[in-house]
Each structure stands twice: as structure tokens, then as C-alpha cells.
Amino acid sequence: GQNIDQPTEMTATEGAIVQINCTYQTSGFNGLFWYQQHAGEAPTFLSYNVLDGLEEKGRFSSFLSRSKGYSYLLLKELQMKDSASYLCAVRGITGGGNKLTFGTGTQLKVEL
């Protein structure tokens, strides 16, 4: 099975940089996803890592270390609209290799 840990809440200032960490233990690894979820809305895809290293996509970057079971999501130039929950999810190797196990999410609050 899989176990995923991420902080429950974080607060940051508009314009700043914030790093949201995710650690996982898994019996089979086939990629790690980050999703953003605004209150009352569906999760939306942000990033995907399957190999070690950094993936950059505009203001958002995601890093993966498979040997350490560790990932982080880096948000730069924070905006008020970035206030949301950020979900870390690990894809396993059973069920056709497409089942996701989600962490409980990190609620990010961006303040002025």
C-alpha cells in the first residue's frame, strides 16, 4: 500500500515563494502528481514527476527524489488566487498502473 504525508496548513505572503513538501512510502511507484483544489471545486492537475529532478511549469515547479520518497511543490510570485488546497498523489503499479493514492492535502493561505 501507500502512505503519504504533507503538512495540513501553510501561510505565505503575496509575492513570496512557498514550498509544500510531500513524503511517501509505497510498495510500487509509477509517478507523483500535484493537484490544486479551490474550496468547493474539483481538483485540477498541476504537475507530474516520474523521474528524479525538477519539473518547471511557469510559476509552479515540482521536485522528486524517488530514493528519499520525497517531493515538493514550489510556488513562486504568490498571488491571492493561489490560496487553495494542494494535493500530493502517488500512482501505484496495480490496477493497470493508474490508481492514485492522495495525501490529505495542504491548505495554503496567501496573505497581503
Partner 1 sequence: DAGITQSPRYKITETGRQVTLMCHQTWSHSYMFWYRQDLGHGLRLIYYSAAADITDKGEVPDGYVVSRSKTENFPLTLESATRSQTSVYFCASSESGLRDHTDTQYFGPGTRLTVL
Least distance to partner 1 from the beta carbon of 43, Å? 5
DSSP state of 112: -
Is 101 near partner 1 (CB under 8 A)? Answer: yes
Among 48, 70, 76, 83, binds partner 1 (CB under 8 A): 48
Dump strand ranges (E) for the chain.
Answer: 2-5, 9-13, 18-26, 32-37, 44-49, 53-57, 60-65, 70-75, 84-91, 100-102, 106-111
Q: Is 51 in the site for partner 1 (CB under 8 A)?
A: no
Contacts with partner 1 by CB under 8 A lie at: 30-31, 33, 41-45, 48, 50, 87, 89, 91, 95-105
